[in-house]
C-alpha cells in the first residue's frame, strides 16, 4: 500500500506525535474496513506523519469533498451551493444572528438535541447521507480513541453539528442553504477557494464596492470574532453554547464555530483576519477536521453503549437544560 503524507497538517501533528500511538489511531480505518469499501490495490488509505490513517474514498467510492465529480448526489450538492452563494449576504447574516441570539425557540438538554438530529439529513454533504446522529457519534468516538485524555474534545465532536436543528420547524425550519455547507466571510471579497465560487456572481453583495476588496470592511488581524461569517449550524451552536455558559475551553468553542470554514482551515484563505488567539485555536481545528471528515462511514455506532459516557461529559460541561 502506498503511504501518502499529509503535509497540510504536518506541523501541528509533530507536536501531537507523542500523544498519538500508531495502534490507537485506527478507529477510522476499522470503521471503513468493516464497511468493506477498502481494497489493497489501488491504495485507499492516507497516513499522515502522526500516524493518523484516513481513507481515500468515501462511502460512495469517490474521493472526499469531490465537488466536481459526476453523479446525482453531486448535482444536488451543486444546486445547494448555488442557492447558498446567492442568498447569504451581509444583511441576511446580521438578521439571523439577531433573531437566533434570542434563544427563545426551545428548552432542552444536549442529549435531547442529539436525538432530534435523527430526523436530519444534510443535502450539502457529498460524503454522507446517514442521519446526523451517526455522524456525531462516529466523529466523537474516533477522536476519543486517539485523544483519550481530552474529554472536552470528545464532547466538542459530539455537539459540533447540533446546530443543524435549525432545519426543523420548531427552530424556524430554515432552508438547507441557511444551515449547512461550508462557511465563508461576508463583507469582503469571496475567495476563489470557496466551493462553487462561480455562483457568487448573483449575490447582491458583489454590487457593493465596500465588500469587494481583500479586507473589505475589516482590518487586518482584527480577529475572527469581529468577522461576519455566513449563517448556519456552526455559528448557531456557538451562540447556544456560549450563552448557556458552557465550561468548554475556547478551543472547543472555536472548533464548533469555524469547523465549516474550509477556505480558512483547508486552503489558508482569510488568515490575514486572524489574531493570535485564533492562530492558537486553529491548531485544534486542524486536528478535529480530520475526524469530522474521514470518520463518515456506513458503520453504525451502538448508541446505547456509548451514551452513559457522553452523558457524564454533558453534565461536566453544560447545564441540565439549555435555551435554544
Residue numbering of the annotated binding site for Fe cation: 135, 160-161, 233, 259, 292
Binding-site residues: 65, 122-124, 135, 160-161, 164, 181-182, 233, 259-260, 292
What is the contact surface with Fe ion in residues (CB under 5 A)?
Answer: 161, 260, 292
Specify the residue, 25 or 136, whose C-beta has the smaller distance to ligand INS: 136
Q: Any contact of residue 125 with ligand INS (CB under 6 A)?
A: yes
Binding-site residues for substrate: 65, 122-124, 164, 181-182, 259-260
Yes or no: say if 250 and 107 are a contact pair by the CB < 8 Å rule.
Answer: no
Which of ligand INS, Fe ion, none has residue 290 at its interface (CB below 5 to 8 Å by kind)?
none
Per CB under 6 A, contacts with ligand INS among 147-176 are 161
DSSP of 195-221: TTGGGGGG-GGGG-GGGSSSSTTS-TT
CA torsion through residues 251, 254, 258, 260, sign: positive
The whole-angstrom separation of Cα 196 and Cα 82 is 7
Specify the residue, 47 or 241, whose C-beta has the smaller distance to ligand INS: 241
The whole-angstrom separation of Cα 51 and Cα 58 is 20
**Among the listed residues 286, 265, 272, the one whose alpha carbon sits nearest the alpha carbon of residue 194:** 265
Strands 322-323 and 45-47 come out as unpaired
Cis peptide before 42 (omega within 30 of 0): yes
Which of ligand INS, Fe ion, none has residue 141 at its interface (CB below 5 to 8 Å by kind)?
none
Q: Least distance in Å: CB of 233 to ligand INS? A: 6
The whole-angstrom separation of Cα 94 and Cα 97 is 5
Find the helix packing angle between 233-243 and 250-258, rounded to 10°. Answer: 150
Residue nearest to ligand INS (CB): 260
Q: Is 50 helix (H, G, I), strand (E, B) or coil?
A: coil
Q: Any contact of residue 124 with ligand INS (CB under 6 A)?
A: yes
* Cell numbers that stand for 243 in this block: 450563552
Q: Least distance in Å: CB of 166 to ligand INS? A: 12
Per-residue mark of binding to ligand INS, 246-265 (x: CB under 6 A): -------------xx-x---
Size of the site for ligand INS (CB under 6 A): 10
Which of Fe ion, ligand INS, none has residue 125 at its interface (CB below 5 to 8 Å by kind)?
ligand INS
Query: Contact residues for ligand INS (CB under 6 A)?
Result: 122, 124-125, 161, 180-182, 259-260, 262
Amino acid at each position: 500500500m502506498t503511504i501518502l503524507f499529509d503535509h497540510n497538517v504536518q506541523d501541528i501533528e509533530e507536536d501531537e506525535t507523542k500523544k498519538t500511538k500508531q495502534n490507537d489511531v485506527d478507529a477510522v480505518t476499522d470503521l471503513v474496513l468493516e464497511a468493506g469499501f477498502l481494497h489493497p490495490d489501488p491504495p485507499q488509505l492516507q497516513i499522515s506523519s502522526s500516524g493518523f490513517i484516513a481513507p481515500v474514498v468515501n462511502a460512495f467510492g469517490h474521493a472526499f469533498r469531490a465537488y466536481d465529480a459526476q453523479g446525482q448526489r453531486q448535482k444536488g450538492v451543486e444546486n445547494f451551493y448555488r442557492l447558498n452563494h446567492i442568498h447569504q449576504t451581509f444583511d441576511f447574516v446580521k438578521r439571523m444572528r439577531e433573531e437566533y441570539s434570542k434563544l427563545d425557540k426551545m428548552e432542552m438538554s444536549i442529549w435531547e438535541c442529539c436525538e432530534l438530529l435523527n430526523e436530519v439529513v444534510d443535502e450539502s454533504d457529498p460524503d454522507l447521507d446517514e442521519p446526523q446522529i451517526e455522524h456525531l457519534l462516529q466523529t466523537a468516538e474516533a477522536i476519543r480513541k486517539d485523544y483519550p485524555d481530552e474529554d472536552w474534545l470528545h464532547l466538542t465532536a459530539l455537539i459540533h453539528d447540533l446546530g443543524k436543528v435549525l432545519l426543523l420547524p420548531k427552530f424556524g425550519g430554515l432552508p438547507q442553504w441557511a444551515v449547512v455547507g461550508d462557511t465563508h466571510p461576508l463583507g469582503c471579497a469571496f475567495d476563489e477557494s470557496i466551493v462553487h465560487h462561480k455562483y457568487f456572481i448573483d449575490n447582491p453583495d458583489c454590487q457593493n464596492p465596500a465588500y469587494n476588496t481583500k479586507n473589505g470592511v475589516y482590518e487586518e488581524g482584527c480577529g475572527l470574532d469581529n468577522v461576519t461569517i455566513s449563517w448556519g449550524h456552526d455559528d448557531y451552536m456557538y451562540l447556544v453554547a456560549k450563552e448557556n455558559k458552557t465550561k468548554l475551553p475556547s478551543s472547543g468553542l472555536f472548533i464548533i464555530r469555524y469547523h465549516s470554514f474550509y477556505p480558512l482551515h483547508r486552503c489558508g484563505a482569510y488568515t490575514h483576519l486572524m489574531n493570535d488567539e485564533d492562530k492558537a485555536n486553529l491548531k485544534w481545528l486542524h486536528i478535529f477536521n480530520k475526524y469530522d471528515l474521514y470518520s463518515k462511514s456506513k458503520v453504525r455506532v451502538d448508541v446505547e453503549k456509548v451514551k452513559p459516557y457522553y452523558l457524564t461529559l454533558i453534565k461536566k460541561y453544560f447545564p441540565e437544560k439549555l435555551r435554544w
